[in-house]
Structure 1
Amino acid sequence: MSLICIILIRYSLHKFLHALFALFMPCFMPYALFILKQRFPLKDDLMKWVRDISMANNFVLVTTKSDSGAKGRKEYVILGCEKHGAYIPYREPDLVEGTSTQKTGCPFRLKGRRTKDDKGWWLKVMDGRHIHLAAESLVGHNYAGRLNSEAKEDVINQAKTWVPPRKMLASLKEKDPSNLTTIQQIYGVCKRFRQSVRGSLTEIQYLLKKLDGEKYVHFERNEPGSEVIRDIFWAYPNAVKLFNTFPYVVIMDCTYKTSKYKLPLLEIVGLTSTDKTYSIAFCYIGSETTEDYIWALECMKSLISDQSRLPRVIVTDRDLALLSAASQSLPTTTHLLCLWHINKCVLAKCKEYVGTDDFAQEVMDKWAELVDAPTVPEFEAHWIELFNMCKHKHKLKFATYCSTTWLVHKQKFAKAWTNHVMHFGTTTSNRAEGAHASLKLMLRNSKGDLATSWDASHSLTTNRHTEIVASFERSMNKIDHLFKTPFYTNIRGFVSIKCLKLIDAELTRMRASGGRCD
């Protein structure tokens, strides 16, 4: 029995010593790792060797002190654990909630110094103790994930072309699977790059410098009695040329959450003969008032060299300030309201006042017939039917909403009136919405400044212009097999492929109706 007790005691003691060794050995192991008589030809060789050894054992070393050897002093470098020293508050002595530190006063120190004959470097262990265990992983340790010069240059080049940081990180991991860089470090490199490009210029100074450098047409408006810029309007030079060539239809819409200042960004877009959307101009406005919109519209009008060729159609949503501004600034231009937004609003009110049953679907079908009515008498007949349907079911609130909110603007969206306007099928502001989506995809977040949003809009506009020029070339140099018939001989290569398709659709419709054209 006593023999069994002795065995159990020895076994337990062995396990205890083994656990104790496993716990404290990592703390003293570095001392033995760095004791050597080896010389290093260069300081960089010494630094690389030391850091490779420490990282292989899951410790991170950083430079705590160094001297370049100026004025006859001996050149040296002292390396310490990343947890060396103690946290010293920068301004406020009280700790701020959410802040933290990794400093624990770790005493580990290595010193690298030139040899007496100045032909190399030697290493001395000043203190080989770590008062903490080795890290389980070096992921998340700032120095371990530091970018070298080659990787940093690669990230900067990608930042110039608006590659998202997550894709930059994926690219680094693909090139080097052992890379420990985190997404926060990628963001830091991009931020420092943008700051270095701007230099000592303020945000607005940098923006104006870029606008002048790229030969943009731009206008600014100051706060009354102040030199503070309140509104800024800019247009890409090639977009101005397109606007003078294709001024027929203009779509305007505001988007939000594009910068940290929360200013509305008014984007004005048009369409080309090849059915491509191009951005005419961008404008940051202080507020969405009639006066602000009038200023933006006057800036847009000044882009057209021949004032007799102002836009024939302008498409917007139901912004009353914009409606008023357009009637004052563009009195001869037909103003259409976005039919998609109208139908969306009407459907929401139908669900609120009528319900979601089969009768509600019948009401919406009747609304669609009302909007699509080709003539004014048919429009009025459908409206009477819709009103009676709602009156019969005691749903007058819905009919009142349609009448007071939308039918007062019926000439701006009902086909009985809009079919008499050459709008090239543009009855919604979807093109502007698509342009907003493309811009926000490049911006990635709404925390940037005005200069950042300009950079994104400039890249987006230049890319669009390249695609538009390519569409012009395709129309002139490519011949669709459908249009090789003699009927198209005189216009092939002189009008766009989109136009030829529209003509062919009309030709097919005419032949289907017995050769008669209505």
Structure 2
Amino acid sequence: MDNKVPYSLPGMTESFLFHESQLIEVGLNNAQPEEVPPPAFVPPCISIDVSHLFTTDQIFPTRDDLINWVHGIAIENGYVVLITKSDSGGNGSRKAYVMLGCEKHGKYVPYRDPDLVEGTRTQKTECPFRLKGRPMKNGIDRDWRLKVMEGTHNHEPARSLIGHNFVGRLNSEEKEQVEKMSKSWVPPRKMLLTLKENNPLNLTTISQIYGACKRLRKSLRGSLTEMQHLLKKLDGDKYVHFERHEPGSEVIRDVFWAHPNAIKLFNTFPYVVIMDCTYKTNKYKIPLLEIVGLTSTDKTYSIAFCYIVNEGTDDYVWALECMKSLLADQAMLPKVIVTDRDLALLSAAKQSLPNTSHLLCLWHINKCVLAKCKLYVGTDDFAELVMGKWGEVVDAATVEEFEVQWMQLFNMCKDKYSNFTSYCSTTWLVHKEKFAKAWTNHVMHFGTTTSNRAEGAHASLKKMLRDCKGDLATSWDASHSLTCNQHTEILASFERSIHRIDHIFMFPFYTNIRGFVSNKCLQLIDDEHIRMKSYGGCDCLLRETHGLPCGCELAGHRSTTLLSINSICY
């Protein structure tokens, strides 16, 4: 058999032709050459003698004094020395000693699994530096002496010790400060700034602050599981809480909790409830349902929170039933509930609160309609005209006006943009009684036609959480702090309404109600009174939506009485 290459190029002689064995040698055939591992890293040969720095006849009272002295000298010269080995001496049966070495002592041992090598690093250089401390009297922890066993380093001193974990460790006092700041929800970056302001020589890094906070949370939990730790916290702060288990098991599926002060507020102001789920509050990606209400001083308060694994109808029904159980008088159920267009929540509210008016968030509706308008109609002047007409549809004061405005919008778009009108009619107009003012203006919703209060509560909660990597108990800690802050501010608003009256309400017209109703109610009445005197005419909107005297009731009266104000506004 001829082993020569079966082809040749112009000008190629036989001496240029390769045989198969030669091709294998130069790697021109299909066989892959065997990989040659890269040579091991060999550090440069350096020897820096620092024996004179640690050679001393000083006698140290205790072991800790000796160690602190060595650490101080080493840090001043750009080295980090730590304990490599020690023995307390037991009951006197052994000799007590402490061996100190460079942080680069020892030899790196590679992983057995080569896949784990990527992304790892080492600081080991087999540095021979060693010091040994021993007490002068065996068995007695006092009068320690230091001996230099090997005084040379095989590496240069560090230019900066920032980033060396050992010198950046927190001392006991700093750990207490971090613990207090962590409980007050101080961000780690501000914790680090505070530590460096208190100690300009502090070498701690932000990663060490995060590690300290993580160890603190873990120490508080102890041997408990996350769910056990959460339930322990709920019981410790006297929360009312309910749990739902997986069918046929002891695994907790959903958790509902409410603060005692929030329950008192809910029993006082149960008339309007806003419900909305928020996400990215925990590392398990479990949705957190937040239920909020509002007070007579126009303050938002969190009624309850609920971890709800599945956002199904039965899950929402369970949450609503838990919420209803918080009321001492079941006759005082919420009059209005505001949500977004969650079909499961709509169905659940219809089952649990059949006599409650259900409103849809107008802000979310307008946002969705605007997005579809940009998609189907465009962004030109005609699109702005379409959105303006949609606003007139929503703001129509009567049912007849609503129908007229809708027909005008329908006729504007039916030729070219029928997709837009089809979307509006099939998605939103089937729920027109829940957001159009022709119907909602006859519901006492106290000005709450959007879920913005719930969205604001979500924002406050996430501002405390800072990230979505915490456990369930961390989310509870944030909700607990948020509820306590809300309660403090609400109590302050009550006191201000009683003891601090604005000068515009010092007229005789408000004598009978001043100090008995909130400043927010007084402001609404004053605005209505001014409007009535300036423009005349009354649509009784304030009476129907807020339970306060409207313009026609205020006209011709020299003062306002409590009898004309709905008791829920007090």
Bucket of the pairwise TM-score, normalised by the shorter protein: over 0.9
Cα distance in 1 for partners of 2:369, 2:455 equals 20
Cα distance in 2 for partners of 1:259, 1:366 equals 42
Inter-CA distance 93–114: structure 2 relative to 1 (3 Å threshold): farther
C-alpha offsets along residues 265-296 of structure 1, whole Å, 9 cap, x if unaligned?
00000000000000000001111111101110
Offset at residue 74 of structure 1 (A): 2.5
Cα distance in 1 for partners of 2:488, 2:101 equals 54
Match of 2:132 in 1: 111
Asked whether 1:82 is paired with 2:73, we answer no
Check the 8 A contact 2:111/2:117 in 1, yes or no.
no
C-alpha offsets along residues 363-403 of structure 1, whole Å, 9 cap, x if unaligned?
000000110010111111110110111124x0111111111
Cα distance in 1 for partners of 2:134, 2:48 equals 23
Moved more, 85-94 or 365-374: 85-94
Match of 2:402 in 1: 379
Match of 2:164 in 1: 141
Offset at residue 42 of structure 1 (A): 2.4
Cα distance in 1 for partners of 2:106, 2:475 equals 42
Asked whether 1:39 is paired with 2:62, we answer no
Match of 2:459 in 1: 437
Offset at residue 45 of structure 1 (A): 2.1
Moved over 6 A (4+): none
Offset at residue 183 of structure 1 (A): 0.8
Offset at residue 43 of structure 1 (A): 2.0
Q: Which runs of 5+ in 1 are unaligned?
A: 1-22
491, 505, 526: which one aligns with 1:504: 526
Offset at residue 181 of structure 1 (A): 0.1
Cα distance in 2 for partners of 1:451, 1:390 equals 52
Offset at residue 91 of structure 1 (A): 7.8
Q: Which runs of 5+ in 2 are unaligned?
A: 1-43, 539-550, 553-570
Say which SS state the counterpart of residue 241 (structure 2) adopts. Answer: strand
C-alpha offsets along residues 242-284 of structure 1, whole Å, 9 cap, x if unaligned?
0011011000000001111111100000000000000000001
Asked whether 1:55 is paired with 2:75, we answer yes
102, 106, 117: which one aligns with 2:123: 102
* Matching residue's letter, 1:190: C
Cα distance in 2 for partners of 1:44, 1:191 equals 28
429, 433, 454: which one aligns with 1:407: 429
* Matching residue's letter, 2:232: K
Match of 2:30 in 1: none
C-alpha offsets along residues 414-452 of structure 1, whole Å, 9 cap, x if unaligned?
000000001011010000000001001111111111111
Cα distance in 2 for partners of 1:125, 1:224 equals 68
Task: Report percent identity of matched pairs.
Answer: 73
Match of 2:31 in 1: none
119, 138, 161: which one aligns with 2:184: 161
Check the 8 A contact 1:30/1:54 in 2, yes or no.
no
385, 390, 396: which one aligns with 1:362: 385
Say which SS state the counterpart of residue 438 (structure 2) adopts. Answer: helix
C-alpha offsets along residues 109-134 of structure 1, whole Å, 9 cap, x if unaligned?
00111125866121111111211111
* Matching residue's letter, 1:41: P
Cα distance in 1 for partners of 2:111, 2:508 equals 82
* Matching residue's letter, 2:351: Q
* Matching residue's letter, 1:415: K
Counterpart mapping for 1:447-486 below 5 A:
447-486=469-508
Check the 8 A contact 2:104/2:126 in 1, yes or no.
yes
Cα distance in 1 for partners of 2:108, 2:306 equals 47
Check the 8 A contact 1:316/1:338 in 2, yes or no.
yes
Say which SS state the counterpart of residue 70 (structure 1) adopts. Answer: coil
Cα distance in 2 for partners of 1:235, 1:201 equals 22
Match of 1:256 in 2: 279
Offset at residue 95 of structure 1 (A): 3.7
Cα distance in 2 for partners of 1:199, 1:258 equals 22
Moved more, 312-321 or 204-213: 204-213
C-alpha offsets along residues 208-230 of structure 1, whole Å, 9 cap, x if unaligned?
11111111111000000110000
TM-score (norm: length of structure 1):
0.93
Say which SS state the counterpart of residue 186 (structure 2) adopts. Answer: coil
Match of 2:564 in 1: none
Counterpart mapping for 1:247-326 below 5 A:
247-326=270-349
Larger Rg: 2
Offset at residue 144 of structure 1 (A): 1.0
Offset at residue 514 of structure 1 (A): 4.2
Query: Which of the two has greater helix per residue?
Result: 1
Match of 1:4 in 2: none
Calculate the aligned-residue CA RMSD, in Å. Answer: 1.6
Cα distance in 2 for partners of 1:109, 1:140 equals 23
TM-score (norm: length of structure 2):
0.84
Cα distance in 2 for partners of 1:96, 1:228 equals 38
